[in-house]
Amino acid sequence: MTSDGTDRAGARRRMVEHQLAARGIRSAAVLAAMECVRRERYVPPALAEHAYDDGPLPIGENQTISQPYVVAFMLEALDLQGGERVLEVGTGSGYVAAVLAEIAAEVFTLERLEVLAASAAERLAREGYAHVRVSVGDGTTGWPEAAPFDAIVVSAGAPSVPPALRAQLAPGGRLVIPVGSSTELQELKRITRVGPDEWREEDLGAVRFVPLIGAEGWRAVPRPPSGSPPSSR
């Protein structure tokens, strides 16, 4: 039961069945994790009834919680098998970190906005995710003290792939990140470290995310160009 007495387990099941599995998400680990995590706990209380809607929702500070399908698509692209050490860039409300924590052994998550990091850390602790570490910092430079990582997921759009994140991948590690020259449209990319100085890059499709601000990202929030095409996700 939620705090308002509403049982949303059915809404979670329907989300997994109709928004995820029906659209091609096949990872059993991702589907199970997203059916387990109570998404309504990671959105503003006034929007709890919309937590399982098929779209993003605002969480304050001009940030959003991503559409469930986009979360599932990105996490499936990480190809997690369980037991990994994962870095998330862009904690937001903490929802993606919670889903990751249902699969991975250790989750490190970075948020540049202190108010969001603090509320996410409190929320994740309350939900029992003791193996998630939240820190305030520049996500574009990663978490070098905790590297290397088996997987890195970036929940914001970068103008290019930050070199620091490439360098912090373990051998065989995967980085999933939106990359584009504007804030209106990015290409979701998967970068796999295949050697000490070699990475393989794949394009996974069009997305739209808030900008990734930092030393190896956007230096300030860019003004979107007029007439940009909409996102396909």
Poorest-confidence range of 9-13, 26-30, 229-233? 229-233
> Is 41 a member of any domain?
no
Residues annotated as part of the active site: 66
Q: Which of 36, 70, 45, 75 is nearest to 56 (CA)?
A: 70
Give the count of beta carbons closer than 10 Å to the beta carbon of residue 102.
18
Q: At what angle do helices 68-77 and 28-36 cross, to 10 degrees?
A: 140
The confidence score (pLDDT) of residue 2 equals 47
In a domain, residue 14? The reply is: no
Rounded distance, CA 34 to CA 28, Å? 10
Question: Which CATH number characterizes residue 189's domain?
Answer: 3.40.50.150
Q: Which residues pair with 149 in a beta bridge?
A: 169
What's the pLDDT band for 184 if we cut at 50, 70, 90? confident
Residue 68 lies in a domain: yes
Domain that holds residue 155: 56-207
Average pLDDT for 9-28: 96
Q: Mean pLDDT of all residues in the chain?
A: 91
Domain assignment present for residue 227? The answer is no
Name the amino acid, one letter, at 207.
V
Query: What is the reported pLDDT for 175?
Result: 98
Residue 107 belongs to a domain: yes
What is the reported pLDDT for 222? 54
Q: Determine, yes or no, domain membership for 92.
A: yes
For 14, other C-beta atoms within 10 Å of its C-beta total 12
For residue 147, is it within any domain?
yes
pLDDT of residue 148: 98
Number of domains present in the structure of the chain: 1
Q: Is residue 124 part of a domain?
A: yes
Reported as a pLDDT band with limits 50, 70 and 90, residue 145 is very high
Check residue 219 and give its pLDDT: 85
pTM: predicted TM-score of the whole model, two decimal places: 0.90
* 7: pLDDT strictly greater than 80: no
How far is it, in rounded angstroms, from Cα 212 to Cα 206? 16
